């Protein structure tokens, strides 16, 4: 895990399974957002008939955990477990990072050294999963309520609306930081190719790069007879080989 290319320019941040889990989440949440918007906004109500929009909405909701389950069964589940453990644990530097408040998201000057995931990314993952759980619970109640009135609560629709609003804000912030914000754009290749620029990583995820480099050094000195890493193209845009 976490090997660098021979030129040392890039460093591996996410496994193929982690990236597949990310893009499956993006695709299914995108589908739920689109169909949900058709169900919610009067101006969009005409794009699709209500029963069809509802079916697509529900099937995307089912597809999300089913896809993740399949990934844990056939994919590299150790890498998924590593990400969950990383996101769960906040060390002193993470807490200091969070104490910088919302401004820290945009201004990284003087941030304490961060691991593979910074404290904001950890919080983003935890809140995203929590909100998905809330949407799953309230959505299930809405679905059950149509079949058995014992499950019908007026609050289900309010919480489903509010959680959608919260998740929308979270995703918009995530997209801004990933696509547009200069300091954090460097992370984007991590979730497309799996690799990020080593210098960028050293600046923003110092503790992770140090740990990786210690592991690399130990591998290089201790196991010279091990097969070499597959050669990597110098450009990040090309598909990189998987291990």
Partner 1 sequence: MDSDRGYPLGRAAFLGTLAAGVAGIAITSRFSGAVTDAMNGVANAIPVVNQIAPTSGWRIYAVDPPMPTYDASTYRLKIGGRVGKPVELSLADLAAMPTVEQVSDFHCVTGWTVNQVRWRGVRPQTLIELVQPAADIRQVTFKSLEGPYVDGLKPAQLVLPDTLIATHMDGVPLTRAHGAPVRLVIPAMYGYKSVKWVSEIRFDQTESAGYWEQRGYDIDAWVGRSNGLG
Q: Which residues bind partner 1 (CB under 8 A)?
A: 40-43, 45-51, 82, 84-92, 94-95, 115-116, 122-123, 125-127, 129-131, 133-134, 137-138, 141-142, 145-159, 161-163, 207, 211
* Enclosing H/E stretch for 109: none
Nearer to partner 1, 39 or 192 (CB): 39
- Specify whether the CB–CB gap between 241 and 233 falls below 8 A: no
Cα separation, 131 vs 162, whole angstroms: 10
At its nearest, how many Å lie between partner 1 and the CB of residue 98?
8
At its nearest, how many Å lie between partner 1 and the CB of residue 227?
26
Nearer to partner 1, 19 or 116 (CB): 116
At its nearest, how many Å lie between partner 1 and the CB of residue 27?
22
At its nearest, how many Å lie between partner 1 and the CB of residue 131?
6
- Residues 6+ away with beta carbon under 8 Å from 37: 44
At its nearest, how many Å lie between partner 1 and the CB of residue 149?
2
- Residues 6+ away with beta carbon under 8 Å from 71: 17, 20, 21, 24, 77, 80
Nearer to partner 1, 138 or 184 (CB): 138
- CB-based burial of residue 143 (10 Å sphere; 0-12 exposed, 13-18 middle, 19+ buried)? middle
Nearer to partner 1, 20 or 87 (CB): 87
Nearer to partner 1, 41 or 176 (CB): 41
- CB-based burial of residue 192 (10 Å sphere; 0-12 exposed, 13-18 middle, 19+ buried)? middle
């Amino acid at each position: 895990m976490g090997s660098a290319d021979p030129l040392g320019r890039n460093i591996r941040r996410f496994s193929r399974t982690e990236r597949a889990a990310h893009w499956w989440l993006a695709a299914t949440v995108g589908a739920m957002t689109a169909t949900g918007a058709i169900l919610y906004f009067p101006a969009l109500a005409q794009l699709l008939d209500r029963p069809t929009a509802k079916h697509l909405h529900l099937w995307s909701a089912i597809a999300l955990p089913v896809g993740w389950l399949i990934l844990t069964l056939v994919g590299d589940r150790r890498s998924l477990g590593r990400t969950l453990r990383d996101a769960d644990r906040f060390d002193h530097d993470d807490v200091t990072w969070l104490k910088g408040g919302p401004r820290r998201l945009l201004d990284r000057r003087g941030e304490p050294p961060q691991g593979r995931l910074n404290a904001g990314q950890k919080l983003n993952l935890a809140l995203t999963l929590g909100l998905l759980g809330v949407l799953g619970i309230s959505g299930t109640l809405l679905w059950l309520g149509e079949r058995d009135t014992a499950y019908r609560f007026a609050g289900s629709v309010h919480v489903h609306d509010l959680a959608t609003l919260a998740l929308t804000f979270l995703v918009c912030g995530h997209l801004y930081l990933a696509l547009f914000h200069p300091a954090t754009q460097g992370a984007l290749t991590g979730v497309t190719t799996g690799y990020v620029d080593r210098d960028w990583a050293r600046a923003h995820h110092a503790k992770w790069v140090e740990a990786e480099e210690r592991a690399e050094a130990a591998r290089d000195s201790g196991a010279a007879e091990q097969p070499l890493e597959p050669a990597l193209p110098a450009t990040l845009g090309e598909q990189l080989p998987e291990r």
